[in-house]
Structure 1
Amino acid sequence: MAPASSHPSAKTVCVMDASGRLGSALVERLLQLGYTVHASLFNHGAAGDTVVVDAANGSALETGKRLKVFRSDPLDYHSIVDALKGCSGLFYNFEAPNYDEFIVEMEVRTAHNVLEACAQTDTMERVVFTSSITAVVWKEDRKSADGFDERDWSDPNFCRKFKLWHALAKTLSEKTAWALAMDRDVDMVSINAGLLTGPGVSASTPYLKGTPEMYEDGVLVTVDIEFLVDAHVCVYESASAFGRYLCFNHAICRPEDAVKFSQMLNPSAPCPPPGDDLRVIQQRIHNKKLNKAMLECRSGMYVEE
């Protein structure tokens, strides 16, 4: 299967799920780049009914004609197939408002349905599967590891033991997707995103569980939405893209950065006084593979070390 060209005016792609921050941002960027977009919205209960794809109300008539909105049930294979019809690419992500054992099972089943549907879509050329840093860093012996990169996986048993449901869901769903992609010959790349910060993120956001330990381990990394979107487009359009990519543009290793991060999550909390025991943490996670890929893309200007 050939990856998408860098001149996508004739290309149709699907964004699934298009209802969250990443999904809606991807829809907007892809429309700007000239793609025709199938925006597939998952219904996560009440939250799903309040979702608005901003690009659907764009003032440009041409943009409106290139956007089609679908309502898809994550567990309904046929509704997923309908959204993918005629698409040459899929940008897939799944984020629930809350995570527990039930959501873990649901996310794994959804990943299976989506990859199976991609395999049955004759026009499909590449899948960009959004996973998470939480599918990389959680395991029993993590403190003794030299560092973390695309080769590392979180341990499902460790995640279950400490009820790290978001990490478990991302680990199992990504592994399920990779197994199906290889078995069905689907050209897939994955983006293991750092912790997305910005509007709507609070201390109760599911993927933030365990951040103090991540900070102590030197693996607390975050990503801006613009950088994350650029990374997705880059690995979709790059003919040489393959495998997994860790995606972040900020590493929180200094005490002052940790304080700012904490204040962002809980603005009403008092700012902790500086202490003599605060120290700089050594960064132990790397995304050199993505930085190299983005240097080769049009959006290489956003690369940070």
Structure 2
Amino acid sequence: MDHEKPCVCVLDASTYVGFWILKGLLNRGYIVHAAIQKDGEKEIEKQIKDMEKVEERLVVFHVDILDYQSILVALKDSSALFCCLDSPDSYDEKMVDLEVRGAINVVEACAQTDSIEKIVFNSSLTAAVWREDICSDKDVDERSWSDQGFCRKLKLWYALAKTLSEQAAWALAMDRMLCMVSINAGLVLGPGVTQQNPRSTMFYLKGAAEMYENGVLAFVDVNFLADVNIRAFEDRSTGGRYFCFNQIVNTEEEAVKLAQSLSPLIPLPPRYECQGSEVYAERLKTKKLNKLVEGTAC
């Protein structure tokens, strides 16, 4: 029945998350338009081009997110867009603006097509956790947003980019009456992540100590994240934001394990003791995700 699966688009497929979503879609029989930016992850881009040679359901497009027409070409005949925007370089104020403009262009392009049924917009937990009262005991859920002024003050450019681009996407999607869901992922872990996603990993972890101490440092396995993306598209009842993570890091032992999994990106301290003396409260709530995963699996 594979031939009955619709055509979908992944943009940018050369990001770490985009690539794993692409693989998940192909494994489930979808026709996939892999939209790649010119400055994407080179190793992943090569893998996608090699896959295109042997996979008839995969078509590669080169896009510029600031070039509206190139996005339209990649979206042609697609019933869904999986949007995965990440800077291939460093995050600064200029890159924040570029990512926001890119998100607006992508959503507007979707509005101009007749085929797009749903946008699955990949955002980040960092778009929800940063604010002046981060040390409060309030729960952090899908209604929470990071404070722009606080992010600027602490130069949390990655968090600011994810916050503003997601907010811009939501504003435009609602204005154009598009069906959209956002997946707010924790720190992404998975095969080859330190080689293929080093910059985004390090940008996410800016302020990691504060996130850890305040119960909002969490990680997600990339396979699980890709699966949630596809479920969010296939389940017609989905809407709004979904926090997506496997575990909250809130003990010394878990923090050390996380650092070990990201070596050599994160050097371990010269001496450490895993006595579990500090256990921080878990403040991230993910009821919506649980319903999606459990409901679709039934």
Q: TM-score w.r.t. structure 2 length?
A: 0.91
- Structure 1 CA distance for aligned equivalents of residues 284 and 3 of structure 2: 34
Structure 1 residues 21 and 115 mapped into 2: Cα distance closer, same or farther (>3 Å)? same
How many residues align? The count is 290
Where 2:135 maps in the other structure, the secondary structure is: helix
**1:8 CA displacement:** 7.8
1:262-301 equivalences under 5 Å are 262-267=259-264, 269-270=268-269, 272-274=271-273, 278-298=277-297
2:21 paired residue number? 26
1:210 paired residue number? 207
**1:229 CA displacement:** 0.5
- Structure 1 CA distance for aligned equivalents of residues 149 and 77 of structure 2: 40
Structure 1 residues 68 and 7 mapped into 2: Cα distance closer, same or farther (>3 Å)? closer
- Structure 1 CA distance for aligned equivalents of residues 290 and 2 of structure 2: 22
Task: Report whether the alignment pairs 1:149 with 2:157.
Answer: no
Amino acid at match of 1:218: G
- Structure 2 CA distance for aligned equivalents of residues 149 and 125 of structure 1: 26
- Give the conservation status (yes or no) of the 8 Å contact 2:129–2:146: yes
Identity of aligned residues (%): 47
- Give the conservation status (yes or no) of the 8 Å contact 1:40–1:83: yes
- Give the conservation status (yes or no) of the 8 Å contact 1:263–1:271: no
2:85 paired residue number? 94
1:79-228 equivalences under 5 Å are 79-96=70-87, 97-198=89-190, 199-201=192-194, 205-228=202-225
Structure 1 residues 81 and 34 mapped into 2: Cα distance closer, same or farther (>3 Å)? same
- Structure 2 CA distance for aligned equivalents of residues 242 and 218 of structure 1: 26
Q: Deviations over 1:94-142 (max 9, x none)?
A: 1113211111000000000000000001111000000000000000112
- Structure 2 CA distance for aligned equivalents of residues 8 and 257 of structure 1: 44
Structure 1 residues 8 and 113 mapped into 2: Cα distance closer, same or farther (>3 Å)? farther
Unaligned residue ranges in structure 1 (runs of 5+): 1-5, 301-305
Amino acid at match of 1:37: V
- Give the conservation status (yes or no) of the 8 Å contact 2:256–2:268: no
RMSD: 2.2
- Give the conservation status (yes or no) of the 8 Å contact 2:120–2:229: yes
- Structure 1 CA distance for aligned equivalents of residues 270 and 259 of structure 2: 9
Structure 1 residues 263 and 295 mapped into 2: Cα distance closer, same or farther (>3 Å)? same
Q: TM-score w.r.t. structure 1 length?
A: 0.89
Match of residue 253, structure 2, among 251, 256, 263: 256
Task: Report whether the alignment pairs 1:15 with 2:10.
Answer: yes
2:45 paired residue number? 52
- Structure 2 CA distance for aligned equivalents of residues 104 and 279 of structure 1: 35
> Which region of structure 1 is more displaced relative to structure 2, 245-254 or 267-276?
267-276
**1:48 CA displacement:** 4.4
**1:55 CA displacement:** 5.2
- Structure 1 CA distance for aligned equivalents of residues 46 and 221 of structure 2: 19
Unaligned residue ranges in structure 2 (runs of 5+): none
- Give the conservation status (yes or no) of the 8 Å contact 2:252–2:275: no
Q: Deviations over 1:46-97 (max 9, x none)?
A: x544442635534995xx2111100001111111111101111000011113
